[in-house]
Structure 1
Amino acid sequence: MDSLTITIITIIIVTFLSAFFKGRKIDRCLKKINGYFVQVYNTKEKSIEGMAEVASNSIVIEFDDEKASKNKKFILYKNEFKNMELILRLHGFFDEVQKSKRDQIFKKAINPGLLAKLNRKLRNVFATAKDAVNEIIGLLLTSAKTMGPIKALSSQEKQVNKLKDDSVGSLTGNAFEPIWEKCIGKRVGVEIKEDDTLKVEGTLIEYSQSYILLFDSSIAGLDQEEPHDLLVSREYGTIRHIIN
């Protein structure tokens, strides 16, 4: 079996497995807004608000508005997630169960127990392996475009890139960021790319390949005074400062 055949078989197998698992997995930061009232912003404009129901490939927003009786729910599909630059989870809409759950998550981030530390270290091992596999797949797909039959696809860049996206995923960052791990439970400043009018701060609770989760955040430059937690798209912003 030659190297080209092995490469093609590897790509097919990894693409299938990746699509299978990706279709069932929910981003760990997006899980934190499931069942909560949220406001979604795109380029500082509030585009939608309501109760969020999160699935692996979509988010359903149920409007809390009598005027919206004909269209009570709005569906955001996965390919539209990139438009969700800021997602605010407003404290004023929490019920008692949600308040208690949030407090537990906050305390665990500030002062994690032994079991929580071990669980996170184990998850980071798998995340590091995942990042390495994603990089290898990207290299395989890039090199495969110049090999044999796949070379014919070089003029069809969209199809080849789609295959790459399906196997690796639309990733904006690593699943494991060593320096960010040291910032969990600390207050950080998030730099908004290409927009220095927004100043974002908050306590770092969690991050994923696509989002950064901050508790008790503040956003200077945005007309929002209600206490809230915040998801920031990693395509839109990144952690730049450690405040304490």
Structure 2
Amino acid sequence: MDSVFLLSILIIFFGAFVASGFKRRRLDRVLKDLRGFQTTIRMENKSAWGRLQLYPNAVELVFNQPYENRRGNMLASYILYAPELTRVNTVLRFHDDLTPENQARRLREIEKTAHPGPLRRFNRYLRNFLASFRDAIDESFGMLLSRAQSLSSTLLTPDNQSRLKKIGATTLGVVSNTAYDPVMEHYLTRRVVAELRPAEDSVIEYTGILKEYSSQWFAVLDCEIEEQVDLPLDDSERLRIQRNLDFEIRLERRGDAVAMQIGVSNHGRHPVMLAAIEDGENFSFEIDRQLPPGETRTVEIDRLPESVLGGIDLDALPIEISLIAPERGNGVETPPTATSLPPLILSYQSLKTADVYLPRNKATLRHAGEFVDQGI
């Protein structure tokens, strides 16, 4: 085989290999902070909650436990591929959904952003430089290839030159995904007001600290949100990690009925409005009681519907289950019987603190939330 032709093949193959490696490892630098955190994804008519896994081409929410859908299929996660992410309105990391370990992880990542070391500052400067001058670098690469072709037309044929230029553009595209934005760069770690438009006639504002941005997303931390929460009572792990709420649940027989008593303790800073307990179908038990900070409310249902008793061992009744946040549980593990709770949903309203991750196709940085020296 002609050595010049072989060298040409090797150059193209090596360039394609490097570009492919960059693409496989590329993760959005905003969303990658959420890996391993319990996260809520909201779309126009759907919401999902789970532990977030991030891939170059998708986002996956892994549920605490599998559940059976209406078609009879067992589901353990929810996957959104890159084209589907355009339907997402918000990705939320609620502070009271975090385990003590994830609380510490979150604080460490914020500290790195607020006080970056020399290497982190250099990497950011380099990314911003390459993103800002991508077109100029791409043009210079093309001129370099043209010059090389004039010196060795056998090695760099027009076809090979086109391939190499495409590979170079792909590799630069990985870097330019950081999308240098002078306004967002100026307000990093500052209080801002973001504006989300989930629909043409709808505007939602989020006030918090701008942490990071990319070409697709930006993150605003410590936003206070008036939230309607639907908490599944059969997800014992999700109940247990609630930082602001503790639960005491008792199931017992009363004649031919199964009764449930649930005590809810509020350890947060804001009152909680307990609205109802429902099964998502026909059963609804209205509560309509306020739970102030530092207090406990007990709710009793004298007769649970037969439709929610299928997974409960009736011979084991009565059972009592304490679901207490790890920092208040003194190392006590959730008992195994907690997996046999009825599939009911507790609905409540409260002011909650969250880190909000917003898609740039629907949201924008609209206002500064504090005066910042413009350096003029």
Shift of 1:71: 0.8
Amino acid at match of 2:354: H
Equivalent position of 2:182 in the other structure: 178
Report SS of the residue matched to 1:184: coil
Amino acid at match of 1:77: Y
Deviations 1:14-39 (A, max 9, x none): 99986663343111111111111111
Instruction: Confirm whether residue 227 of structure 1 aligns to residue 353 of structure 2.
Output: yes
8 Å CA contact 1:52–1:62 kept in 2: the answer is: yes
Amino acid at match of 1:99: Q
Deviations 1:37-64 (A, max 9, x none): 1111113x55211111111112221123
8 Å CA contact 1:131–1:174 kept in 2: the answer is: no
* 1:49-60 map, 5 Å: 49-60=49-60
Instruction: Confirm whether residue 108 of structure 1 aligns to residue 234 of structure 2.
Output: no
Q: How has the CA–CA distance of structure 1 residues 135 and 17 changed in structure 2, closer, same or farther, with 3 Å as cutoff?
A: farther
Equivalent position of 2:193 in the other structure: 189
CA distance in structure 2 between the aligned counterparts of 1:234 and 1:203, rounded to whole angstroms:
16
Runs of 5+ in structure 2 lacking a partner?
1-14, 141-168, 230-350, 371-376
Q: How has the CA–CA distance of structure 1 residues 40 and 131 changed in structure 2, closer, same or farther, with 3 Å as cutoff?
A: farther
Which structure has the greater CA radius of gyration?
Answer: 2
The structure richer in strand per residue is 2
* Aligned-pair Cα RMSD in Å: 3.5
Shift of 1:219: 4.4
Report SS of the residue matched to 1:226: strand
CA distance in structure 2 between the aligned counterparts of 1:240 and 1:73, rounded to whole angstroms:
34
Equivalent position of 1:61 in the other structure: 61
* 1:1-244 map, 5 Å: 21-43=22-44, 45-65=45-65, 67-68=67-68, 70-130=74-134, 175-193=179-197, 194-219=200-225, 223=228, 225-244=351-370
Q: How has the CA–CA distance of structure 1 residues 219 and 237 changed in structure 2, closer, same or farther, with 3 Å as cutoff?
A: farther
Shift of 1:239: 0.5
CA distance in structure 2 between the aligned counterparts of 1:92 and 1:131, rounded to whole angstroms:
44
CA distance in structure 1 between the aligned counterparts of 2:217 and 2:368, rounded to whole angstroms:
18
Q: How has the CA–CA distance of structure 1 residues 24 and 66 changed in structure 2, closer, same or farther, with 3 Å as cutoff?
A: closer
CA distance in structure 2 between the aligned counterparts of 1:174 and 1:131, rounded to whole angstroms:
14
Amino acid at match of 1:128: S
Equivalent position of 1:141 in the other structure: none
CA distance in structure 2 between the aligned counterparts of 1:132 and 1:211, rounded to whole angstroms:
25
Report SS of the residue matched to 1:101: helix
CA distance in structure 2 between the aligned counterparts of 1:223 and 1:27, rounded to whole angstroms:
29
Question: Percent identity among equivalent residues?
Answer: 28
CA distance in structure 2 between the aligned counterparts of 1:176 and 1:214, rounded to whole angstroms:
17
Stretch moving more, 187-196 or 107-116: 107-116
Shift of 1:95: 2.7
Runs of 5+ in structure 1 lacking a partner?
1-13, 137-165
CA distance in structure 2 between the aligned counterparts of 1:130 and 1:85, rounded to whole angstroms:
30
Q: How has the CA–CA distance of structure 1 residues 238 and 135 changed in structure 2, closer, same or farther, with 3 Å as cutoff?
A: farther
8 Å CA contact 1:207–1:213 kept in 2: the answer is: yes
Shift of 1:227: 2.0
Report SS of the residue matched to 2:74: coil
Deviations 1:193-228 (A, max 9, x none): 3354411122111101000011112346x6463322
Tell me the matched-pair count.
202
Provide TM-score, normalisation by structure 1: 0.68
Shift of 1:119: 2.7
Shift of 1:192: 1.9
CA distance in structure 2 between the aligned counterparts of 1:20 and 1:34, rounded to whole angstroms:
21
8 Å CA contact 1:130–1:175 kept in 2: the answer is: no
CA distance in structure 2 between the aligned counterparts of 1:175 and 1:223, rounded to whole angstroms:
34
Amino acid at match of 2:352: E
8 Å CA contact 2:225–2:352 kept in 1: the answer is: no
Report SS of the residue matched to 1:227: strand
8 Å CA contact 2:212–2:218 kept in 1: the answer is: yes
The structure richer in helix per residue is 1
